Amino acid sequence: MTQRMRRRVLVAGALAAAGLTGAGRADAMQGGKPMVALVLKSLADPYAVAMASAAQNYQKHFASQFDLTVRGTAAETDTSAQIRIVDEMIDARMNAIVIAPTDSKALTPVIAKGIKAGIIMVTIDNSLDEAAQDAAGISVPFVGPNNRKGAMEVGNYLARRLKAGDEVGIIEGISADRNAQQRTAGCKDAMNAARMKIVAIRSGDWEYEKGKAAAARMLSDHPRIRALLCGNDNMAMGAVEAVRDEGRAGGVYVTGYNNSDAIKPLLADGRVLATMNQFADRQAVFGIDVALKAIAEGKKQSELSRFIETPLQLVAKENL
């Protein structure tokens, strides 16, 4: 079986298991194929690239069923650019917009605008703030993993290598992001349950350099720190470099989140202890399929479930 065919089988099997097999019925919509937009964060991020690539591959296999437009920002934190992109997709009269929001609150008004225009709106990777949704009178599905549970699982794996009272730090993503908040909460759950001492929490904005800077500050301020729990692999790789620069390689554990291709060599040689695979490629496909299923069944936005959970898998050296 070729790698491409294996990928198709895995994706199709995952969709069937999750009850998300709506693509085959998308042609029931009158007036031609549905038009779906996938709006991502920075397309320079390998995680976003994986989502975009899988979505485009999926559309190729179902080209007669729907059209797909993929857009993304230049920078991870460019919320204003992402708002403009969503506005453009609304003006283009898309039938559905699947979005990985750069900000859990700031994207709410433009997403509400899309719903008012009759467009099915679905979030992946980062959910909208629930209070912001309620205030806007909308409900937007989040198709993705339980980030708190995933981060707690990584933290539990780390805790087995530490002893009660050890000092640890948490490097989180953009503090306003719901997924960053949930991953930080999961790290806290695990560390508190194991009676570790959380001495610092700093934001690295999901980025390598900012993650490195946050790690360097923690290592300087807390010379007895034993571990750095990072909200994504980009920041974990930055933390690894900071640990090396401080001459503490082998003395400070680093964990990540996302299971990016770039993190695999660091897992293999032990510089990163563990990460969490949340199946980036499947997330985009799951989100698209939820949107297509809603269109095919003529569902209103208000009739869609707010949370549709997708799989997670802990990745460490022994199961690479």
What is the tens place of the pLDDT at every residue in 268-311?
Answer: 999 999 999 999 878 999 999 999 999 999 999 999 999 999 99
State the DSSP H helix or E strand holding residue 218, giving kind and residue range, or none if neither: helix 208-221
Q: How many residues does the chain have?
A: 320
Q: Are 250 and 269 in contact (CB under 8 A)?
A: no
* Mean pLDDT computed over 84-92: 98
Query: Does residue 22 surpass a pLDDT of 70?
Result: no
pLDDT score at 31: 52
Split at pLDDT 50, 70, 90, the class of 1 is very low
pTM reported for the whole predicted model: 0.79
The CATH architecture annotation of domain 3-145+280-311 reads: 3-Layer(aba) Sandwich (3.40)
Q: Give 94's contacts (C-beta < 8 A, 6+ positions apart).
A: 35, 36, 37, 69, 119
pLDDT given for residue 44 in this prediction: 87
Element (H, E) at 153: helix 147-159
Query: Where do the domains of the chain lie?
Result: 3-145+280-311, 147-277
pLDDT for res 47: 87
Which stretch of DSSP H or E encloses residue 96? strand 96-99
Find out whether 310 and 144 touch, Cβ atoms under 8 Å: yes
Residue 280: per-residue pLDDT = 82
Q: Are 74 and 98 in contact (CB under 8 A)?
A: no
Q: Say which amino acid occupies 85.
A: I
Strands 96-99 and 67-73 turn out to be unpaired
pLDDT confidence tier of residue 171, bands split at 50, 70 and 90: very high
Q: What percent of the chain has pLDDT over 70?
A: 90
The more confident residue out of 13 and 266 is 266
Report pLDDT for 7: 38
Residue 249 CB neighbours (<10 A): 14
Q: Quick check: do 3-145+280-311 and 147-277 share a fold?
A: yes
Taking residues 214-241, report their average pLDDT.
Answer: 98
Nearest residue to 290 via CA among 63, 31, 38? 38
Q: What is the pLDDT of residue 3?
A: 37
Q: How confident is the model at residue 77 (pLDDT cuts 50, 70, 90)?
A: confident
Class of domain 147-277 (CATH, top level): alpha beta
Average pLDDT over residues 187-194: 98
Confidence of residue 34 (pLDDT cuts 50, 70, 90): very high
